[in-house]
Amino acid sequence: MIELYSSPTSNGLKITILLEVLGLEYNYHSIDLERKQNHEPWFLELNPSGTIPVIKDTSKSPTKIFSESITIIQYLADEYDIRRQFSYSHNHPLWLEQLQWLMWHAASHEPIQYQLHLYKTFLPSPKTSQGIKDFDYCSDMFENKTRQLFDVMNNRLKHNNGWFVGNCLNIVDIVIFPWIKRAYAGGLGELDDWDELKKWRSKLDGIDSFKRGQLIGVE
């Protein structure tokens, strides 16, 4: 059985959506980030970094424990997407292209959009004039960088038949989707400047497994 320790953040939703897409049975353990459950000793034994999501696959011997959302996505794809409906194996011509987009998301897209969300939604406004000036500079910088990344994704979808890799739903779509779904946190939720990205988001939002995956852990 797969035990998932998570919260319905963008990174957490990557895993619940993939589990639902694959039709796997799993137990969901909700981690309250506001109460810092992810820093309690029992959780740190699972992941010393104290971040979600974490999976524990007790069906394997020895039990497999993984953190970092992209690692978990790759593990689930390799172990459970047996027919390779949603991922490519290492010997497939598109495997490196798939890996490239996964790494692009992890190293470029996610960190920049996360910073934008912090400045637009979560960080308190500074009190001094210099603080306000610095804050606005950083906020504008991360918005411009996020817009550039959205341009990249929009162009990719436009020239690749509405998908990131291949010509059908792929794990790359699954890892990117929650961040685009929550683009409103950075003030870009309407996606008015990115028609292809907007159509892609709507298309995935209409898939039943995506709907179910987005509801897991939401109270």
Tell me the average pLDDT across 93-111. Answer: 98
For the stretch 151-188, pLDDT in tens is 999 999 999 999 999 999 999 999 999 999 999 988 99
As assigned by CATH, the class of the 2-82 domain is alpha beta
Q: 124 preceded by cis ω (within 30°)?
A: no
**Mean per-residue pLDDT of the chain:** 96
**Which residues, at least 6 apart from 214, have a Cβ–Cβ distance to it below 8 Å?**
8, 13, 16, 17, 178, 181
Tokens linked to 183: 């683009």
Tell me the average pLDDT across 8-14. Answer: 97
Tell me the average pLDDT across 106-111. Answer: 97
The domain ranges of the chain are 2-82, 95-211
User: Which CATH entry fits the domain spanning 95-211: 3.30.390.10, 3.40.50.11900, 3.40.640.10, 1.20.1050.10?
Assistant: 1.20.1050.10
For the stretch 115-148, pLDDT in tens is 999 998 888 888 788 888 888 999 999 999 999 9
The burial of 206, by beta-carbon neighbours within 10 Å (0-12 exposed, 13-18 middle, 19 or more buried), is given as exposed
